[in-house]
C-alpha cells in the first residue's frame, strides 16, 4: 500500500512536456508510480481541477544564518519551495573562527540588510569549518532540502583575517583557500560562490573580501572544482568582470558557471541582452554558462538609515561608515548631493538606482504632519515643493530623523523586456534572495509569481515551460539527482496548486525574528499542498504546525 495517492491531477512533470491527467503514488518518500489505477494508499487526495508539479527549487537564497535558528526557513516552504540552495554570492557563515564571528555578522548586516541584533541573538555557532557546518545542518534537519555553497568571502576571512577586505592574497594564502574549498567540496558543498559586485560592501563600507581577489586567485579556486569532480561556480558579477573571463573559468574547471544578477535597466536597456548573447556564444562553444534572471521587479523598502539602493555608488562612499550626526551632516552637504546627482546622470553598465524618481514612493512617514506624503511619488512631491527629487528625499528623511520609509522599483520594471529575458535559452530563473534583505523586500514567492503572473496572466510563457524553469532545468544544472521531476524513483517533492489563482500575495510586515524584529512577509495564493520527501509541510493555510523537518542536506551530486 502506498503512503499517498494524488488522483486526477493536471500533471506538469517538470520536463517541459505539456500537462496530462494522471495519478501520482508516493511511498517511502519517493514517487512510486505515475499513471492510472495505481492501487490503494493510506491517504488519498482528489486533485480534480488542480495542477501538480515538482516542488520549486530556489537556487539563490541566503538562509545560511536563519537556518541555524529557524529550520523551517520561513516563508519558503509555504511558497512551494522544496529545495533551497544557500551560500550564494559567497556570503556564508562558515568557515568562521570564533574571533571572526562579529566581523562576519557585521558584514552580513551591511551587505545583506540583516539586523545585527537578530544575528547576535539567533545564530547558533556550533561549528567552525565548512564540514562542521554541514554536519550541523544534517543533524538538525530542515523543512526543505538544502544544498550549500562554499563561500569565498568567508574562506578569505578565515585565511587572511583582517586583511581579507584590504589586499591581494599571497600565493600561500591562495593555496590555503584552495585547500579549504576542496575540503568543503569533499564534505558535500554544491560548489563555490563569490561576488565581484561593487554594490557588495561590508561594515563601514569596506568591500566584501571576495572583491579583493584578483583573476589569478579566482582562476585557481574555480579550477579546483575540476579536482573535486562536481560543483557549480556562482558569482554576482561586477561591471568590470567580463563574460569572456568567466568562460575561461568554465573551460578551466569543466563546471557550469551561474552569473548573477542579470536585471533589466530601462536607462541602459541593451546591456543585459548583450550579456545573455555572450553567454549564449560561450554555450555554443561547449562552455556551460547560465545567466541568473529574476521574474520579479526589484522593489525595495528602505530608510536612509540603510539606503541599500545607493550604497554601491562611488559618490556614496564618503557616507559609508559614518554614524549619527556625522552621517546626517554628510547628507546635508551640497557637494555630496551634487556628486550623487552627477553619477546618476552618467551612463553605467549596471547600477541599482538610475534616477527614476517616478518609481520612488513615500511609504510611511514618522511625523504625522507629513501624512499627506504617504503613497505618493518623490517626483510629484518634489515638483510641488519646487525642489530637486534627491533634495526632497534627503530633506524629508532628515526632518524625520531618517525614519521615513521609502520604496523604490529599481530594476526589471519593463515587463516586455523581462519577458524576453525569462524566455532566453541561456537564462535561469533565480534571484529570490530569500533569507536576506528581510526589511527591504521579499521575493521568496518568485516561483508562484512566475506561474501566476508571467504564465497565466500575461501568457509570456507556457505553464509547462515555467514549471521546467523552476524545477528540472535547475536540478540538471546544479546536479541535483532524482529531483525536479515527477517520475517514478524521484524524490517526492511536490507542489499542488490552483492554476486559476496561483500567485503571491501582497507584502506585509511581521515581527517574528529573534527579539521580535520585523521582516517583510508574502503569503502564498492558490497553493493547496507542498510535500518534501513525501511529507506534507504546507497546505492552503500555509506552513503546517506538524510539518516537522523532512528535508535532507544534499551532499552528493551528479558529476
pLDDT digits (tens, 9 = 90+) for 352-380: 898 999 999 999 999 999 999 999 999 99
Where do we find the cell 510586515?
509
Q: Is 281 left (phi over 0), alpha (psi -120 to 50) or beta?
A: alpha
The domain defined by 1-54+480-502+523-546 carries CATH number 2.30.40.10: yes
The yes-or-no verdict on residue 438 having pLDDT over 90 is no
197 falls in which pLDDT band (50, 70, 90)?
very high
Angle between helices 215-228 and 171-187 (to 10 degrees): 30
Mean pLDDT of 273-294: 98
Coil, helix or strand at residue 378: helix
The yes-or-no verdict on residue 16 having pLDDT over 90 is yes
Percentage of the residues of the chain whose pLDDT score is greater than 70: 100
Task: Note the pLDDT of residue 204.
Answer: 80
Percentage of the residues of the chain whose pLDDT score is greater than 90: 87
Interior CA angle at 147 toward 298 and 178, to 5°? 100
Task: Note the pLDDT of residue 351.
Answer: 80
Locate 529 and state its grid cell: 499542498
| Separation of alpha carbons 425 and 415, rounded Å | 18
The residue among 435 and 351 whose pLDDT is bigger is 435
Query: In terms of residues, how long is the chain?
Result: 559
Task: Note the pLDDT of residue 134.
Answer: 98
DSSP structural state of residue 379: H
Where do we find the cell 488542480?
50
The yes-or-no verdict on residue 292 having pLDDT over 90 is yes
145 falls in which pLDDT band (50, 70, 90)?
very high
Task: Note the pLDDT of residue 440.
Answer: 78
Q: Please answer whether residues 521 and 508 qualify as being in contact, where contact means their C-beta atoms are separated by less than 8 angstroms.
A: yes
Strand runs labelled E in 358-514: 360-364, 376-377, 405-411, 427-429, 494-497, 503-510
The yes-or-no verdict on residue 32 having pLDDT over 90 is yes
Task: Note the pLDDT of residue 78.
Answer: 98
How does strand 145-151 pair with strand 527-532? unpaired
Q: Please answer whether residues 109 and 436 qualify as being in contact, where contact means their C-beta atoms are separated by less than 8 angstroms.
A: no
Listing from the earlier edge strand, what are the strands of the sheet with 56-58? Answer: 56-58, 81-86, 145-151, 191-195, 232-236, 257-262, 289-293, 427-429
| Separation of alpha carbons 95 and 93, rounded Å | 6
- Domain residue ranges of the chain, discontinuous segments joined by +: 1-54+480-502+523-546, 56-292, 300-409
CATH code for the structural domain at 56-292:
3.20.20.140
Strand runs labelled E in 196-239: 232-236
Claim: this prediction has a pTM higher than 0.85:
yes
Does residue 468 have a cis peptide bond before it, meaning omega lies within 30 degrees of 0? no
User: pLDDT tens-digit profile of 492-542?
Assistant: 999 999 999 999 999 888 999 999 998 989 999 999 999 999 999 999 999
Amino acid at each position: 500500500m502506498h503512503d499517498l495517492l494524488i488522483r486526477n491531477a493536471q500533471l506538469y512533470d517538470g520536463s517541459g512536456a505539456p500537462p496530462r491527467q494522471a495519478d501520482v503514488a508516493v511511498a517511502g518518500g519517493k514517487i512510486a508510480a505515475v499513471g492510472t489505477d495505481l492501487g490503494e494508499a493510506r491517504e488519498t487526495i482528489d486533485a480534480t481541477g488542480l495542477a501538480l508539479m515538482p516542488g520549486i527549487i530556489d537556487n539563490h537564497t541566503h538562509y545560511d544564518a536563519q537556518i541555524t535558528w529557524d529550520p523551517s526557513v520561513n516563508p519558503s516552504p509555504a511558497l512551494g519551495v522544496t529545495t533551497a540552495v544557500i551560500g550564494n554570492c559567497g556570503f556564508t557563515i562558515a568557515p568562521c573562527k570564533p574571533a571572526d564571528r562579529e566581523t562576519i555578522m557585521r558584514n552580513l548586516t551591511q551587505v545583506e540588510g540583516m539586523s545585527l541584533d537578530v544575528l547576535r541573538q539567533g545564530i547558533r555557532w556550533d561549528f567552525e569549518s565548512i564540514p562542521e557546518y554541514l554536519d550541523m545542518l544534517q543533524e538538525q534537519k530542515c523543512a526543505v532540502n538544502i544544498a550549500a555553497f562554499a563561500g569565498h568571502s568567508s574562506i578569505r576571512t578565515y585565511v587572511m583575517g583582517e586583511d581579507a577586505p584590504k589586499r591581494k592574497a599571497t600565493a600561500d594564502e591562495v593555496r590555503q583557500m584552495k585547500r579549504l574549498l576542496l575540503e568543503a567540496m569533499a564534505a558535500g558543498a554544491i560548489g563555490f560562490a563569490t561576488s565581484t559586485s561593487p554594490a557588495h560592501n561590508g561594515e563601514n563600507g569596506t568591500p566584501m573580501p571576495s572583491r579583493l581577489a584578483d583573476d589569478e586567485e579566482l582562476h585557481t579556486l574555480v579550477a579546483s572544482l575540476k579536482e573535486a569532480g562536481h560543483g557549480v561556480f556562482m558569482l554576482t558579477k561586477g561591471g568590470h568582470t567580463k563574460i569572456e573571463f568567466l568562460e575561461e573559468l568554465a573551460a578551466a574547471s569543466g563546471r557550469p558557471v551561474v552569473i548573477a544578477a542579470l536585471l533589466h535597466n530601462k536607462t541602459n536597456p541593451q546591456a543585459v541582452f548583450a550579456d545573455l548573447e555572450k553567454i549564449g556564444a560561450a554555450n555554443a562553444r561547449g562552455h556551460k554558462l547560465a545567466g541568473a534572471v529574476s521574474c520579479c521587479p526589484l522593489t525595495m523598502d528602505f530608510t536612509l538609515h540603510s539606503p541599500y539602493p545607493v550604497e554601491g555608488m562611488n559618490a556614496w562612499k564618503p557616507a559609508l561608515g559614518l554614524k549619527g550626526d556625522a552621517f546626517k551632516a554628510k547628507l546635508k552637504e551640497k557637494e555630496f548631493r551634487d556628486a550623487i546627482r552627477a553619477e546618476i546622470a552618467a551612463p553605467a553598465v549596471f547600477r541599482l538606482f538610475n534616477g527614476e524618481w517616478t518609481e520612488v514612493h513615500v511609504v510611511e512617514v514618522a511625523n504625522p504632519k507629513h501624512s499627506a506624503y504617504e503613497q505618493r511619488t518623490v517626483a510629484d512631491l518634489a515638483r510641488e515643493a519646487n525642489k530637486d527629487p534627491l533634495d526632497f528625499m534627503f530633506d524629508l528623511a532628515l526632518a524625520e530623523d531618517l525614519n521615513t520609509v521609502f520604496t523604490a522599483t529599481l530594476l526589471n520594471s519593463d515587463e516586455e523586456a523581462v519577458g524576453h529575458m525569462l524566455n532566453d535559452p541561456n537564462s535561469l530563473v533565480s534571484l529570490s534572495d530569500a533569507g536576506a534583505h528581510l526589511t527591504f523586500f521579499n521575493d521568496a514567492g518568485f516561483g508562484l509569481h512566475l506561474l501566476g503572473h508571467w504564465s497565466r496572466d500575461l501568457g509570456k510563457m507556457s505553464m509547462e515551460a515555467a514549471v521546467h524553469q523552476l524545477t528540472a532545468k535547475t536540478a540538471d544544472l546544479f546536479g541535483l539527482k532524482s529531483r525536479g521531476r515527477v517520475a517514478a524513483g524521484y524524490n517526492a517533492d511536490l507542489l499542488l496548486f490552483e492554476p486559476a489563482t496561483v500567485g503571491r500575495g501582497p507584502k506585509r510586515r511581521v515581527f517574528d525574528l529573534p527579539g521580535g524584529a520585523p521582516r517583510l512577509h508574502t503569503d502564498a495564493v492558490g497553493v493547496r499542498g507542498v510535500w518534501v520527501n513525501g511529507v506534507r509541510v504546507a497546505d492552503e493555510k500555509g506552513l503546517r504546525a506538524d510539518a516537522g523537518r523532512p528535508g535532507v542536506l544534499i551532499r552528493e551530486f551528479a558529476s
